[in-house]
């Protein structure tokens, strides 16, 4: 019997009827037939599906602004903060294995990147089941060492973490998979030169300012003859001696955070790395009054764009007084720079300005992607800066106060979710800054600058 109907929301016609009995009979026969193909089977049990979704919610006056250290010895430091404002059954765990081996040379940097790709590839057998269960894993290298993160539902987070750590330790590199991943990375390096100019210039900007770093050309030159056997010999050295730094954040108890730390330590069993041998994050200090230009030719001859990043080095990022001033500068100059350089002069579609703090570097930057020549763009930027100096000199007290209030309000913005809060904590830890209260501490300084002549 077929029943014709029309649904009430959009008036769409539809019919409903019982499944024919002969079709159901065929399905039963196929299911009960012992000779059915072995490929047809139920999925294996998903070991990552959470079963414990309880959240212990407590009434608190104000959420903590920073994680606490719950373990600190010669080999390990563990930072911990229990979720006290989002109340979700989730957590994120970040681990940094500090070692100078990751960026000792361009070749070790390439082998480290390949190692991370191969570990990720080896975890493919778990990645789908973990993904549909709300878990995610990532691994990468940088100048400080090797970093890994696991995030998602806290109930089975440790299961995926253990799988990842064991894979890192017992990795067997197969020649066929290595060739595929090697070719993929080669294409990525080669194609980097054909990306958008404003994305390329950021890479060169970081390289120019950093004490340690390598360009894609240097990495690609080393990548050419790196072999699977060489990476197989290299990664045990990468993990052999390091200092472990952990951030456990979310719906976790202190005991669980310590167990996670023990899991990382006991699985990899690294030799302790003394603090005197830790990689140091440093940046270039420009002499006062200096003026340097670094030029690169685009690889893609069909790209008609130019791109300039005009950087003003102002001092060290640890200077809170300076950082407060940079916040105000960025607030006051953001809209005028965009209006003058993009809207009025129409120099290019991509125009950006703002403060920048990377490790020890603190400054202000303006960059433009345009079809116009970079020397012309530099002239227009300097003209804007000269013009804005007069604007600042004539700025009323009321307008200046409004800019201060806007800068303070931005610093008071709360994280929107657990991941955003955890990322903020981890940025302070992985960059060796540890200044978790920087937002709060800058507010009194911003309020202090009552006179525009301070700039």
Compute the Cα dihedral for 412, 417, 420, 426 and give only its sign: positive
Instruction: Report the distance separating Cα 365 and Cα 189, nearest Å.
Output: 27
Q: How confident is the model at residue 450 (pLDDT cuts 50, 70, 90)?
A: very low
Q: What pairing do the DSSP bridges indicate for beta strands 135-142 and 145-153?
A: antiparallel
Instruction: Report the distance separating Cα 428 and Cα 65, nearest Å.
Output: 12
User: What would the pLDDT profile of 212-259 be if each residue is shown by its tens digit?
Assistant: 889 999 999 999 999 999 999 999 999 999 999 999 999 999 999 999
Whether 58 shows a pLDDT value over 60: the answer reads yes
Same fold, 68-277 and 306-454: yes
3-state secondary structure of 268: helix
Helix axes 106-122, 175-192, angle to 10 degrees: 120
Q: How confident is the model at residue 454 (pLDDT cuts 50, 70, 90)?
A: very low
Q: Where are the beta strands (DSSP E) in 377-445?
A: none
If we measure between CA atoms, which residue out of 122, 124, 115, 70 comes closest to residue 97? 115
Whether 37 shows a pLDDT value over 90: the answer reads no
If we measure between CA atoms, which residue out of 246, 273, 217, 229 comes closest to residue 100? 273
Q: Are 90 and 250 in contact (CB under 8 A)?
A: yes
Q: How confident is the model at residue 3 (pLDDT cuts 50, 70, 90)?
A: low
List beta partners, residue 357. 362
User: What would the pLDDT profile of 309-368 be if each residue is shown by its tens digit?
Assistant: 999 999 988 888 999 999 999 999 999 999 999 999 999 999 999 999 888 889 999 999
DSSP-derived secondary structure for 323-368: HHHHHHHHHHHHHHHHIIIIIIS---SEEEEEEEEETTEEEEEEEE
Whether 127 shows a pLDDT value over 80: the answer reads yes
Backbone angles phi, psi at 273, to 5 degrees: -105, 115
Q: What is the CATH number of domain 68-277?
A: 3.30.830.10
Whether 451 shows a pLDDT value over 60: the answer reads no
Residues 280-286 have a mean pLDDT of: 85
What count of other Cβ atoms lies within 10 Å of the Cβ of residue 103?
A: 20
Q: Give the containing element (helix H, strand E) for 146.
A: strand 145-153
Residues 366-385 have a mean pLDDT of: 96
Which pLDDT does position 439 carry in this prediction?
Answer: 56
User: What would the pLDDT profile of 111-126 be if each residue is shown by its tens digit?
Assistant: 999 999 999 999 999 9
Q: Which residue has the higher pLDDT, 274 or 440?
A: 274
Q: Give the containing element (helix H, strand E) for 150.
A: strand 145-153
Mean pLDDT of the chain: 91
3-state secondary structure of 194: coil
Compute the Cα dihedral for 285, 291, 292, 298 and give only its sign: positive
Structure letter (DSSP) for residue 199: H
Q: Are 161 and 135 in contact (CB under 8 A)?
A: no
Q: How confident is the model at residue 455 (pLDDT cuts 50, 70, 90)?
A: very low
Whether 442 shows a pLDDT value over 80: the answer reads no
Structure letter (DSSP) for residue 212: S
Q: How confident is the model at residue 449 (pLDDT cuts 50, 70, 90)?
A: very low
Where do the domains of the chain lie? 3-32, 68-277, 306-454
Which pLDDT does position 317 carry in this prediction?
Answer: 86
Instruction: Report the distance separating Cα 455 and Cα 451, nearest Å.
Output: 8
Q: What pairing do the DSSP bridges indicate for beta strands 271-272 and 135-142?
A: unpaired
Q: What is the CATH number of domain 306-454?
A: 3.30.830.10
Q: How confident is the model at residue 42 (pLDDT cuts 50, 70, 90)?
A: confident
User: What would the pLDDT profile of 395-422 be if each residue is shown by its tens digit?
Assistant: 999 999 999 999 999 888 889 999 999 9
User: What would the pLDDT profile of 167-210 be if each residue is shown by its tens digit?
Assistant: 999 999 999 999 999 999 999 999 998 999 999 998 999 999 88
Which pLDDT does position 2 carry in this prediction?
Answer: 54
If we measure between CA atoms, which residue out of 114, 227, 127 comes closest to residue 181? 114
Which pLDDT does position 453 carry in this prediction?
Answer: 42
User: What would the pLDDT profile of 80-104 be if each residue is shown by its tens digit?
Assistant: 999 999 999 999 999 999 999 999 9
40-44, 129-133, 381-385: least confidently modelled range: 40-44
């Amino acid at each position: 019997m077929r029943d014709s109907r029309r649904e009430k929301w959009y008036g769409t016609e539809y019919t409903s009827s019982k499944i024919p009995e002969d079709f159901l009979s065929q399905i039963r026969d196929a299911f009960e037939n012992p000779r059915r193909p072995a490929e047809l089977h139920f999925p294996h049990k998903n070991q990552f599906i959470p079963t414990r979704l309880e959240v212990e919610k407590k009434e608190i006056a104000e959420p903590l602004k920073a994680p606490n250290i719950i373990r600190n010895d010669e080999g390990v430091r563990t930072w911990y903060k229990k979720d006290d404002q989002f109340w979700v059954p989730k957590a994120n765990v970040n681990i940094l294995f500090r070692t100078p081996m990751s960026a000792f040379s361009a070749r070790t940097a390439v082998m480290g990147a390949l190692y991370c790709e191969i570990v990720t590839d080896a975890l493919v057998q778990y990645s789908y089941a973990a993904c549909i269960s709300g878990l995610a894993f990532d691994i990468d290298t940088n100048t400080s060492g090797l970093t890994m993160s696991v995030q998602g539902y806290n109930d089975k987070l440790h299961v995926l973490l253990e799988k990842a750590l064991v894979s890192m330790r017992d990795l067997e590199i197969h020649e066929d998979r290595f060739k595929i991943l090697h070719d993929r990375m080669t294409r990525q390096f080669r194609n980097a030169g054909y990306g958008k100019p404003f994305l390329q210039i950021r890479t060169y900007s970081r390289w120019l300012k950093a004490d340690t770093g390598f360009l894609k050309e240097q990495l690609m030159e080393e990548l050419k003859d790196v072999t699977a056997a060489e990476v197989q010999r290299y990664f045990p050295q990468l993990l052999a001696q390091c200092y472990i730094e952990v951030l456990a954040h979310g719906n976790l108890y202190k005991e669980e955070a310590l167990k996670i730390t023990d899991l990382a330590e006991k699985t990899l069993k690294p030799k302790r790395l003394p603090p005197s041998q830790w990689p140091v994050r440093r940046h270039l200090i420009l002499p006062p009054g200096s003026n340097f230009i670094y030029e690169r030719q685009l690889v893609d001859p069909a790209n008609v764009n130019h791109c300039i990043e005009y950087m003003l080095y102002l001092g060290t990022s640890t200077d809170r007084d300076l950082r407060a001033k940079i916040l105000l500068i960025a607030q006051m100059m953001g809209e005028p720079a965009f209006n003058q350089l993009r809207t009025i002069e129409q120099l290019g579609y991509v125009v950006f300005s703002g403060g920048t703090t990377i490790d020890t570097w603190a400054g202000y930057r303006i960059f433009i992607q345009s079809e116009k020549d970079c020397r012309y763009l530099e002239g227009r930027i300097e003209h804007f800066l000269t013009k804005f100096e007069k604007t600042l000199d004539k700025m009323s007290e009321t307008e200046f106060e409004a800019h201060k209030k806007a800068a303070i309000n931005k610093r008071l913005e709360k994280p929107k979710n657990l991941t955003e809060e955890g990322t903020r904590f981890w940025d302070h830890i992985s960059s060796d800054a540890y200044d978790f209260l920087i937002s709060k501490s800058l507010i009194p300084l911003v309020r202090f600058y009552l006179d525009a002549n301070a700039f």
